[in-house]
Amino acid sequence: MTARSKTTTTRTRTAPRKVAAVRTKTRTARRAAPPGLSHDVIRIAALALIDEDGLADFSTRKLGRVLGCEAMAIYWYYPSKEALLDAVVDQLMMRVAAVVSGRAPIDWIGALRDVAHAYRGLAHDHPKAFPLLATRRFASESTYAFLEELFELARRQGIEDRITARFYRVVSSYCSGFALNELATLHGPKDPGIAALRRRYTRVAAVSAWLEPRHLDETFEFGLELQLAALAGAPGAAPMEQRR
Amino acid sequence: MTARSKTTTTRTRTAPRKVAAVRTKTRTARRAAPPGLSHDVIRIAALALIDEDGLADFSTRKLGRVLGCEAMAIYWYYPSKEALLDAVVDQLMMRVAAVVSGRAPIDWIGALRDVAHAYRGLAHDHPKAFPLLATRRFASESTYAFLEELFELARRQGIEDRITARFYRVVSSYCSGFALNELATLHGPKDPGIAALRRRYTRVAAVSAWLEPRHLDETFEFGLELQLAALAGAPGAAPMEQRR
DNA sequence: CCGCCACCTTTACACCGTAAAATACACCCG
DNA sequence: CGGGTGTATTTTACGGTGTAAAGGTGGCGG
């Protein structure tokens, strides 16, 4: 059960993965070089594979192939594919968590804004993997640690828990939904029949012109700032001074 | 290619599906009664099956079983499982579309509010199927017709296309994300380790208390009204009078 | 009566997640 | 040095999946 505990083996990642056919010249060179797996190596490769092939085509067997091992080897580290995907989610959230760690305990609104941007950034950098985030529950150690930090920041500013909860939920929902919409229109199937539809439904076409990629940023900012402004003006948030 | 056209067979749905072993007493009663499939019957059964078993366990073979036919029979009506799921999405959206059809051409804000509520209602009535909506692009005939009606309503009120697009995107993103969050926390896996996490991360626990199911409605309304209020006050929306 | 055609079944294939068992290797203890 | 122990990985196997391809079957218009 070493793998499931926190201990990582001393010699991790032997560099040139995937060769697997070479033989070590150490004594008793019977088998091909062992894959040298670990939690980290596996979930990073998993994310990379999802980024490349897409979620639907991701399989443990393919992952094993790029890892230079059999599919079942993965199961020694993760009990199931589901669990592995949870770990991938964690991996993604690390980037979001980084924006609040070590931040000065002022300006919770600014922190929330940065988190929102980082979250949407994930959708852009990992469009194929992002839907994982939207469906899964954040119930891991690291995401809890991240939230703890974020909420602690709010408390230090004197924001009531009720207000914190409310705005966190509203803002995170908005970001999640917006990014998902974005991905669906940008990376969805390039349906040629859509042009015909647009021709018959003129109002949809006219309004959709304002949802083109080049307006997405401004639309996102608009909605986000709308919510953050409400937070700034909410009773129970920030002592008294609030920029005008 | 009759099935792919608009014509539906005259005698649809013979009632007691799934028996399939009975024989008609009509002349030449060689084979068991034919399944009597149709686009409608299939996609309604598909939705019901997803509601019951969940998305991950939904398969064409199981669907065939409840339909009293072989899995491949479905492929005569829908070219792929993907296409069938798109049809299921359409089926779900019909309920949302219903709230704007035949509505008086005043009060676009009210219409948007009702659409938002109907959308969230879907998540509650079809929690297992709802994630389909969030990921897929709305590019079908019927959803376009729905949007056309919604946007036409806005135009009749003199709201600029830019404003319409902006608020539609913001509100729909919010609803989508909120509902997804809701489902993840409500119907997600009942992890027992979560209690331990909560004990160690006290701020998360305190704030999460305000995200309990009984506060969800009020939180949703808060965020929604926040956005609708901004719409009411936006330049380019509504002629001049706006309540107070 | 025949042949077409809508509808459905049969068969087949490649692939999937993963339980269970076998196997290989590093290491410690005698 | 020899064997046991435990960690890491492969092998084998099973039941399931989406769907291509081909084969039936029955009603209907000629």
Q: Please state the three-class secondary structure of A118-155 as a single string.
A: HHHHHHHHCCCCCHHHHHCCCCCHHHHHHHHHHHHHHH
Partner residue opposite B203 with nearest CB, options A151, A201, A209: A151
Please give the residue of chain B at the shortest CA–CA distance from A174. Answer: B174
| pLDDT score at A19 | 39
- Tell me what percent of the residues of chain B surpass a pLDDT of 70: 84
Top residue of A163, A170, A191 to mutate, by most chain B CBs within 10 Å, is A170
Mutant choice from B133, B169, B226 vs A, greatest count of A C-beta within 10 A: B169
Residue to test with chain B: of A202, A203, A218, A219, most B Cβ within 10 A: A203
Mean pLDDT across B125-142: 96
Percent of chain A with pLDDT over 90: 73
Using a CB-CB cut-off of 8 Å, the residues of chain A touching B56 are none
pLDDT tens string B77-116 = 999 999 999 999 999 999 999 999 988 778 999 999 999 9
Note the ipTM here.
0.87
Among candidates A152, A162, A222 on the partner chain, residue whose Cβ is nearest the Cβ of B210: A162
Report the first-to-last Cα separation within chain A, whole angstroms. Answer: 59
Rounded to a whole number of angstroms, the distance from the CA of B92 to the nearest CA of chain A is 17
- Of the candidates B134, B193, B203, the beta carbon closest to that of A180 is on B134
Say yes or no to pLDDT of A31 above 70. no
Min Cα–Cα distance to chain A from B114, Å: 18
Per residue in B37-52, pLDDT (tens digit) is 999 999 999 999 999 9
Residue B117 clears pLDDT 50, i.e. is over it: yes
B12 touches strand C (CB under 7 A): no
pLDDT of residue A3: 62
B 62-101: CB within 7 Å of strand C: 64, 69-73, 76
C-alpha A174/C-alpha A179 separation (Å) is 8
Question: Which one is predicted more confidently, B231 or A244?
Answer: B231
The bases of strand C with some atom under 7 A from any protein CB are 5-11, 15-21, 24-26
Q: Model confidence at A241, in pLDDT bands (50, 70, 90)?
A: very low
Give the total residue count for chain A. Answer: 244
Q: Between the CA of A36 and the C1' of D8, what is the distance in angstroms? A: 9
Q: What is the pLDDT of residue A235?
A: 79
CA neighbor of B232 nearest in space, from A237, A220, A226, A168: A226
The reported pLDDT for the residue numbered B189 is 77
CB contact under 8 A, B184 and A137: yes
Helices B81-98, B39-53: crossing angle, 10 deg rounding? 90
Binary contact (B162, A194; C-beta < 8 A): no
Residue B64 has pLDDT above 60, yes or no: yes
% pLDDT > 70, chain A: 84
**Is residue A240 over pLDDT 60?**
no
User: Quick one: pLDDT band at residue B14, thresholds 50, 70, 90?
Assistant: very low
pLDDT confidence of residue B3:
61
Whether residue A32 is predicted with pLDDT greater than 80 in this model: the reply is no
What are the two backbone dihedrals, phi and then psi, of residue A71, each rounded to the nearest 5 degrees? -55, -40
The three-state (H, E, C) secondary structure of chain B, written as one string: CCCCCCCCCCCCCCCCCCCCCCCCCCCCCCCCCCCCCCHHHHHHHHHHHHHHHCCCCCCHHHHHHHHCCCHHHHCCCCCCHHHHHHHHHHHHHHHHHHCCCCCCCCCHHHHHHHHHHHHHHHHHHCCCCCHHHHHCCCCCHHHHHHHHHHHHHHHHCCCCHHHHHHHHHHHHHHHHHHHHHHHHHHHCCCCCHHHHHHHHCHHHHHHHHHHCHHHHHHHHHHHHHHHHHHHHHCCCCCCCCCCC
Domains and CATH numbers, chain A: 1-78 (1.10.10), 90-233 (1.10.357.10)
Look at residue A6 and tell me whether its pLDDT is greater than 90: no
Residue with the bigger pLDDT between A66 and B191: it is: A66
Query: Binning pLDDT at 50, 70 and 90, where does residue A190 land?
Result: confident
B72 Cβ within 7 A of any nucleic strand D atom: yes
Rounded to an integer, the average pLDDT of B2-19 is 39
Q: Taking residues A78-104, what's their average pLDDT? A: 95
Is B223 in Cβ contact with A223 (below 8 Å)? no
pLDDT of amino acid A202:
97
Q: Give which of A54, A127, A57 is closest to A92, Cα–Cα.
A: A127
Q: B177: which chain A residues are within 8 Å (Cβ-Cβ)? A: 134, 172-178, 180
Report the distance separating Cα A139 and Cα B205, nearest Å: 12
**Band of residue A7 on the pLDDT scale cut at 50, 70, 90:** very low
Protein residue at shortest CA distance from C1' of C24 = A31
Task: Please state, rounded to an integer, the average pLDDT across all residues of chain A.
Answer: 86
State residue A41's pLDDT score. 98
With a CB cutoff of 8 Å and minimum separation 6, the contacts of B20 are B32, B33, B35, B68, B69
The nucleotide whose C1' lies nearest the CA of B76 is C7
**pLDDT(B9) > 50:** no
- The predicted pLDDT at position B204 comes to 97
Does the pLDDT of residue A142 top 60, yes or no? Answer: yes
Question: Can you give the pLDDT at residue A189?
Answer: 77
Strand D contacted by B10 CB (< 7 A): no
Statement: the CB of A63 is under 7 Å from strand D: no
pLDDT value at residue A205: 97
For residue B152, list chain A residues with Cβ-Cβ distance below 8 A. 203
pLDDT of residue A164: 98
Asked if the Cβ of residue A72 lies within 7 A of any atom of strand C, the reply is yes
How far apart CA A183 and CA A134 sit, in angstroms, is: 12
* Interface with A, mutate which of B173, B224, B225 (most A CBs under 10 A): B173
Distance from CA of B42 to the nearest CA of A (A): 23
Q: Does B194 sit within 8 Å of A169, measured CB to CB?
A: no
Q: Is the pLDDT of residue A27 over 70?
A: no
Give the residue-averaged pLDDT of A102-117. Answer: 91
Q: Give the minimum alpha-carbon distance from A128 to chain B in angstroms, rounded to a whole number.
A: 11
> pLDDT tens across B172-229, in order?
999 999 999 999 998 877 878 889 999 999 999 999 999 999 999 999 999 999 999 9
Q: Is the C-beta of residue A145 closer than 7 Å to nucleic acid chain D? A: no
Res. B2 pLDDT band, cuts 50 70 90: low
Distance CA B4, CA A237 (A): 58
For B215-244, the pLDDT digits (tens) are 999 999 999 999 999 999 987 776 544 333
Q: What per-residue confidence (pLDDT) applies to B45?
A: 98
Above 70 in pLDDT, residue A129? yes
What's the rounded Cα separation, in Å, for the pair B164 and B150? 10
